[in-house]
Amino acid sequence: MTATTDGSSGPLQPRAASATKAAKATKAPKTAQVTEFTTATRADAPSGPPSGPPDARTALDRAVAHLLERQDDAGWWKGDLATNVTMDAEDLLLRQFLGIRDAATTEAAARFIRGEQREDGTWATFHGGPGELSATIEAYVALRLAGDAPDAPHMEAAAKFVRAQGGIARARVFTRIWLALFGWWKWDDLPELPPELIYLPKWFPLNIYDFACWARQTIVPLTIVSAKRPVRPAPFPLDELHTDPANPNPPRPRAPANTWDGFFERVDRALHAYHKVALRPLRRAALKDCARWIVERQENDGCWGGIQPPAVYSVIALHLLGYDLRHPVLREGLASLDRFAIRREDGSRMIEACQSPVWDTCLATVALADAGLPADHPALVKAADWMLGEQIVRPGDWSVRRPGLPPGGWAFEFHNDNYPDIDDTAEVVLALRRVAHPDPELVDTAVRRAVRWNLGMQSRNGAWAAFDVDNTSGFPDRLPFCDFGKVIDPPSADVTAHVVEMLAAEGRSHDRRTRRGVEWLLAEQEPNGAWFGRWGTNYVYGTGAVVPALTAVGIPASHPAVRRAVRWLESVQNEDGGWGEDQRSYPDPEWIGRGASTASQTAWALLALLAAGERDGGAVERGVAWLAGTQRADGSWDEPYFTGTGFPWDFSINYHLYRQVFPVTALGRYVHGEPDLTGSRAPREA
């Protein structure tokens, strides 16, 4: 491994594995909050010899001060959420389609897109990753809209890559839908998605609630787009992105009829035939009901689901049905999209796919509390007040599967009341329990609601998913339309672990529902000793979540599952003392546990090892030394690598606050020991 001049690790080649969540405004430093705390003055710190080496304590103090400075005056934290340039390209394409694209926005977006282009002319979907066809096509088209000439060297290089990869014909369905909006692709050559889908009963395969929440929010508006098949005049041709402009979409081999792929290919052909003969009264009714479904789910801030893609497609769909851009629904929808934009110092404009204030705030609260900040510190109390105000107390789409369950969860974003998630809810409870709030009954009431809701969202197999219950149908992922990312939401080890850890903190370690979750986690351990990471990269994240949950619930550090996890983490520690895992570990087993060391992933590994009783072990000492040695002068860490996951491999995320909150948590637990939230807490009815 080589070091780059900025101190980050250089490219790491794969080798065989040893075994198989509003842009943060700049705030003045909160000096009064920062200077009153150091790890040496924690109120409940043990007396006697120092609990960690000076470098660890110094690094922790700097990191705590930096994190405190980043808190918003309202009480929340939020780091930038970076994904890839398709967000920026599609924002320009949307504005072109609606006729509202302006020169200033276009140039700011183009500046960002150009800055993300790699030397080989391509665009990747994560830092250090390979060039990706669909991302490169969308970025190229966006730059053409911005006026970049096709014969410019950077454009020629991108087009050459696209042709070498099979051209537009081999791009994912979503990319080709965007191109079809301007006549660059034929609607007949796209999978059909009829709006009558809205009428399928909830027990019928492929009804909209068989899809994950993020997918159904996208699919419903796209059924309108698919039915309308709009085409706006293309501002220029894209012949240079086809391998053969005269035959841009050569036929592909068909899957055998006796396979599921073959079956769904034939279903798609039948739906294309239905598009031509669909009963007009039924089609009109379906379009009207799809629109009603979309409008009913618009959030108070104008967005849909708190994420950018459903908002984009919902605006297009409603516009196609005659909603004027001045209509309140579209006006607020477009305003919400502007709030996904981050203006950078160089004048560029980056679009976030989502915003993560609830997630960032609960993680920051846990980090600061575990770092020794007094439980009644103003920053923690302010954060708790903000989180308490964000609890969702009305039903959402989750109640389709759990109609009798009272609400009580938290969402990931500022506004997303229709889709609270189980993961955020568990972590918010863990954060609230670390704060000495002046109104403890207020906290207790909120926690009781949350615990009851989380327990009610347990799936049949004993585990927990992110948003829904038993969202495990095998059919949605097989649709020809669904060739990008996961469109179902099955239970995962990381979410289940966070719920189990929260239930343990609430005195429910022996609850049968908790035990079922533990049994599921133990059964899900990989032969190599790790756990798969669904929402973070990857096995290091999964293992870093599960081991603390197991020990919190009473599994001893000597348990074989814990020992296997320790051995695996030790085996994949990098020579520099850190841990890293590349996004390529999702499709390629040779990358499992391998990648350039990062602050967040090193912290995840340390959290597992510390929970397993390895504080004095060599692996922990080297990991802590790596964190202390790579810390920047301002108390932060640099982390260009993507360690978050939207869809494994297909959609990667760089949570810019991960590099801060997780190292603070790990260093805090190293210096002060593991937190004990279960001491005198008796289980409450939920």
Cα–Cα distance, 447 to 459 (Å, whole number): 21
Cα–Cα distance, 78 to 632 (Å, whole number): 20
- Collapsing DSSP to helix, strand or coil, 154 comes out as helix
Cα–Cα distance, 581 to 604 (Å, whole number): 11
Residue whose entry in the numeric block shows the structure tokens 């800055």: 115
Cα–Cα distance, 317 to 98 (Å, whole number): 11
Q: Max CA-CA distance within the chain?
A: 82
- Collapsing DSSP to helix, strand or coil, 405 comes out as coil
- How far lies 645's CA from each of 246, 435, 485, in Å? 39, 29, 11
φ/ψ of residue 549, rounded to 5 = -70, -45
Side chain identity at 176, as an amino acid letter?
Answer: R
Using alpha carbons only, what angle is made at residue 488 by residues 486 and 493, rounded to the nearest 5 degrees? 85
Is the C-alpha dihedral spanning 615, 569, 557, 61 positive or negative?
positive
- How far lies 223's CA from each of 288, 321, 400, 490, in Å? 11, 12, 21, 24
Q: What is the DSSP letter of 88?
A: H
State the catalytic residue, choosing from 210, 397, 423, 494.
423
R_g of the chain computed on alpha carbons: 25
Q: Starting at the edge strand that comes first in sequence, how are the strands of the sheet with 651-655 ordered? A: 81-82, 651-655, 644-647
- How far lies 636's CA from each of 235, 306, 371, in Å? 45, 28, 15
**Is 88 labeled as catalytic in the residue annotation?**
no
Residue 664's nearest CA partner among 653, 654, 675, 652 is 675
- How far lies 686's CA from each of 153, 246, 544, 549, in Å? 63, 65, 28, 20
Cα–Cα distance, 572 to 641 (Å, whole number): 18
Using alpha carbons only, what angle is made at residue 609 by residues 606 and 610, rounded to the nearest 5 degrees? 80
Token pair recorded at residue 160? 């050459």
Token pair recorded at residue 356? 């993560």
- Residue 88: how many CA atoms within 13 Å on its side-chain side? 34
Burial class (CB in 10 A: 0-12, 13-18, 19+), 477: middle
Side chain identity at 366, as an amino acid letter?
Answer: V
| Element housing 350 (H / E) | strand 349-351
* DSSP secondary structure string for all residues of 426-442: HHHHHHHTTS--S-HHH
Q: Cβ atoms within 10 A of the Cβ of 196, count?
A: 20
Token pair recorded at residue 407? 């609400």
Token pair recorded at residue 540? 């290091």
Cα–Cα distance, 498 to 430 (Å, whole number): 9
Question: Please, are residues 14 and 594 in contact by the beta-carbon 8 Å criterion?
Answer: yes
Residue 555's nearest CA partner among 567, 547, 564 is 547
Task: Please list the active-site residues.
Answer: 423
